[in-house]
Structure 1
Amino acid sequence: MSNGIQGKVVVITGASSGLGEATARHLAKLGAKVVLGARRQERMDVIVRDIKANGGEASAYTVDVTRRDDLSALVENAIRDFGRIDVMINNAGLMAIAPIAELRVDEWDRMIDINVKGVLYGIAAALPKFEAQGSGHFINISSVAGIKVFSPGGSVYSGTKYAVRAISDGLRHEVGGKIRTTTIEPGAVDSELKLGSGHQPSADVVKEFYKQAIPAESVARAIAYAIEQPGDVDINEIVLRPTSQDF
C-alpha cells in the first residue's frame, strides 16, 4: 500500500545539515526520491551515499539560494534525474539575531536574500513545472518567530519569517486548486541555525535559548505528515516547538 510519499520526487534546499539533512534522510527511508541542494557539496555527497547504501534514491547539487539561476538549475536537474518534481521544500535559512540599533545592515541584507528571496526563487523555479503537470506541493520553512517577534534582537529575522508566512498564504490562494502549500513553523530545533548570530551578546542569548531544542527529525516527521496526505488535503500550517518553550 502506498504511503503517499513513496516514489515522489522531493527537492530540498539547505540540505547539507540540520532540518534539510534530516528531512532528506527521513523521506528517503519512506521511499521518496530526494534531490538535495546546498552550498556544501561534500556534506551532501555523504548524505547521498548513505541514502543509496540503504536502498534509497538521491542526488545533490551545489546551490546558493540567493542566485535564482541556481534554483532553476536545481529543479531542472531533479527532472533530468527522476523525470518530474512533486515537492519543493524551501528550507535554507539564516538567523542573525542582533538589536536593530546595532545596524548590522549586511546581516539584514543576507537574511532577506536567503530567507525571503531564496523562497521566492524556489517558488519561481518549481511553479511552472507544477502548473504544467497539474500538481505539486510547496513546503516553506518559516518559524515560530514568524508568528511572534523573537525578542530581544530578532526583529529583522522575524520580519523575514513573517514574510514567508505571507508569501505562502498568498500562494495558496492563487494556485491552490491543484498545487498544495504548507508552511512549517518550528521553534527551537537543533541545527546550525543557532550559530548565525555575529553579535556576541545576542549569540549568548540564542545559545541559552537553544538548550531546550528538539531534534531536527521532529520537523522531518511534520513535513512527511504534510506530504503523505491525499491530494485533496492541503495541510496549510504546522507549528511545533519543544514542550518547554513558552515563546
Structure 2
Amino acid sequence: MKGTSKVVAVTGASSGIGAATARRLAADGHRLFLGARRTDRLAGLAAEINAAGGTAAFRRLDVTDAADVADFASAAHELHGRLDVLVNNAGVMPLSPLEALRTREWDRMIDVNLRGVLHGIAAALPLMRAQGGGHFVNIASVGAYEVSPTAAVYCATKYAVRAVSEGLRQESAGDVRVTLVSPGVTESELADHIGDPAAREAMRSYRAVALPASAVADAIAYALAQPPEVDVNEIVVRPAASVR
C-alpha cells in the first residue's frame, strides 16, 4: 500500500474523471466510496477495483438532492468510521447561446455544478471537523477562469465553485484542506448531452485535442499525497497542445 490509506468519497464516479479518479486512488491504497445515478456502472467499477485488490463500495447518488448527499456522506463514514476526502466531481455541460433561452438547462447546471458542490460541503464538513480534519477536492474547469460563447452559464457555475472553494479554504485554515482542480478539455461524456445543435458542433471541434481523464486523476492524487501541513489550493491541467 502506498502512503496512508484514506477514505475517499467521489461523486459523479460512474464515468470520466470520477471513474478515473476512483481507479487511481484505489491503486494508491485508498478506500473508495462511489456515488452517481447510474448504479450499474458503479457496480462494475467497484467490482473492478475490488478484483484488483482495492477497496470500493458504492451508493446511488443525486447531488441535486441535499438529503441524498447527506446520506451518501454518512454511509461512507459509517462504513469506514471516518471520511477523509470528498471529491466533488459531478457536473453537466449543456452549452447553448443565452439567446436560445434554454432555461431548464441553465437550472440543471446550477443545480448539479454549484448546488451539488455546496450539498457535498454541507454533508461532509461537519464529519471532517468532528474527526479533526479532512480534504475537499472540488472539480471546476478552465471555465472557472475564462468565459467563451455558449458557455456563459456553465462558466458562471465554475467561477462560483472557484469562489466557494477559496472561501472554504480561508475559513478552514489549519483544519480542512481544499483543492480546486480545473481541467481543460478532457475525454468525458460532458459534451454528449449538449442539446443546442450549433454548440454541439462547435464543441466537437474544440474537443479535438483532449486530456485523458487519468491525467486529471493524477493531479488529484498529487494533492492528496501531500503532508498535512501542505495544502495544494489550485491546479489547472490542460492538454499541452491547447492554447486556452
Q: TM-score band (shorter)?
A: over 0.9
Residue type at the aligned position of 2:166: D
Q: For 2:208, what is the secondary structure of its paired residue?
A: helix
Contact 2:2 2:28 survives alignment (8 Å): no
Counterpart CA distance in 2 for 1:2 and 1:244 is 32
Residue type at the aligned position of 1:139: V
Aligned to 1:29: 27
Correspondence 1:179 to 2:183: no
Correspondence 1:92 to 2:90: yes
Q: Kindly report which structure 2 residues correspond to 1:33-182, keeping only aligned pairs within 5 A, or say none.
A: 33-149=31-147, 151-182=148-179
Counterpart CA distance in 2 for 1:178 and 1:13 is 22
Q: For 1:214, what is the secondary structure of its paired residue?
A: coil
Counterpart CA distance in 2 for 1:115 and 1:131 is 24
Report runs of 4+ in structure 1 exceeding 6 Å deviation.
none
Tell me the number of residue pairs that the alignment of Structure 1 and Structure 2 aligns.
244
Correspondence 1:188 to 2:185: yes
Residue type at the aligned position of 2:39: Q
Residue type at the aligned position of 1:23: T
Task: Write out per-residue CA displacement over residues 13-37 of structure 1, whole angstroms, 9 at most, x where no aligned residue.
Answer: 0000000000001100110000000
Counterpart CA distance in 1 for 2:68 and 2:17 is 20
Unaligned runs of 5+ in 2: none
Per the TM alignment, residue 157 of structure 1 is displaced from its structure 2 partner at its CA by 0.4
Q: For 1:231, what is the secondary structure of its paired residue?
A: coil
Contact 2:2 2:29 survives alignment (8 Å): no
Correspondence 1:207 to 2:192: no
Aligned to 2:15: 17
Residue type at the aligned position of 2:121: I
Contact 2:88 2:136 survives alignment (8 Å): yes
Cα 1:194–1:243, aligned 2, differ >3 Å: closer, same or farther? same
Counterpart CA distance in 2 for 1:214 and 1:180 is 26
Counterpart CA distance in 1 for 2:108 and 2:189 is 16
Q: For 1:97, what is the secondary structure of its paired residue?
A: coil
Per the TM alignment, residue 227 of structure 1 is displaced from its structure 2 partner at its CA by 0.2
Q: For 1:60, what is the secondary structure of its paired residue?
A: strand
Per the TM alignment, residue 207 of structure 1 is displaced from its structure 2 partner at its CA by 1.1
Q: For 1:130, what is the secondary structure of its paired residue?
A: helix
Per the TM alignment, residue 196 of structure 1 is displaced from its structure 2 partner at its CA by 2.7
Counterpart CA distance in 2 for 1:95 and 1:246 is 21
Aligned to 2:240: 243
Counterpart CA distance in 2 for 1:68 and 1:30 is 30
Correspondence 1:216 to 2:217: no
TM-score computed with the length of structure 2 as normaliser: 0.98
Task: Write out per-residue CA displacement over residues 117-172 of structure 1, whole angstroms, 9 at most, x where no aligned residue.
Answer: 000000000000011111100000000011011x2201110000000000000000
Per the TM alignment, residue 2 of structure 1 is displaced from its structure 2 partner at its CA by 5.0
